[in-house]
Structure formats: structure tokens, C-alpha cells
Amino acid sequence: MSDAAATLRIADLRRACSMLLDAAESRFGPDIPLSPLSVDHYWNIDLRAAFEMVPQPELAIDCGQSSDDLAELAGIVQRGREGVLSLWHDIEHVNGLLRLLAYLDLPDTREAPGN
């Protein structure tokens, strides 16, 4: 991997996230009611285990919860830019919601709005 390919540019990530969220809004609308979708719990692998490539990753699997992710998202938004952010914690919750959007977009997810 070249040095340029091995550099995470926050501006590129921000632009890609904006493009993807615009596409999700176009597909699903500005609000997605989650209660009727039965998508509250999901499998999650511990962040450290995922990147340190532990020998038994199945031991690092736990359960995430979309409703908890939504509550944390509301807290992040309420704190605003001046509030204290915990990158590892807050990004994990946002990631749970982004993965939920990806799941809802799968071709065989019949419950998803817009499918």
C-alpha cells in the first residue's frame, strides 16, 4: 500500500459520509421509524479485538442495540460542538446506526422502508 493510500484524510471521509447519508435520505426519507422493523439488537465485535486480530474473535462478540445508539446520537447532538466527545465511544454508536442503514439497504431485507 502506498503512503498516499495509507493516509486517512478526514475531509475525504467527511465528504464520503455526506454523500452516503444523502443517498440514504433519498432512499429512505429523512426519518426512519425503527420500532416496526425489529432491528433493535445486533451482533458486534469488540473494537480492540477487531483491529488487533485476536486469535479467537468469537470470544469478543457482544450485542449492540440500535435504540441505545439512537439515544447516544441524541446526546451527541444535544452536546453540540462545544460538548465533550469520546471518539471511540461516540463513533461506535454512530457506526451502529450506519451499519443499520447498510443492513436496511440489503436487497433481501424485506422489512426495510423503500424495499
**Residue range 64-114, pLDDT digits in tens:** 999 999 999 999 999 988 888 999 999 999 999 999 999 999 998 766 666
- Residue 59: inside a domain: yes
- Residue 24: inside a domain: yes
Contact by Cβ (8 Å): 107, 114: no
Beta-carbon contacts of 50 under 8 Å, excluding residues fewer than 6 positions away, are 57, 60
- Residue 39: inside a domain: yes
- Residue 66: inside a domain: yes
pTM score of the predicted model: 0.87
Structural domains of the chain, count: 1
pLDDT at site 114: 61
- Residue 113: inside a domain: no
Q: Which domain does 80 fall in, by range?
A: 10-105
- Residue 115: inside a domain: no
- Kindly indicate the confidence band of residue 2, based on its pLDDT and cuts at 50, 70 and 90: low
Classify burial at 65, counting beta carbons within 10 Å of its beta carbon; exposed 0-12, middle 13-18, buried 19 or more: middle
The length of the chain, given as a count of residues: 115
Q: Which residue has the higher pLDDT, 4 or 42?
A: 42
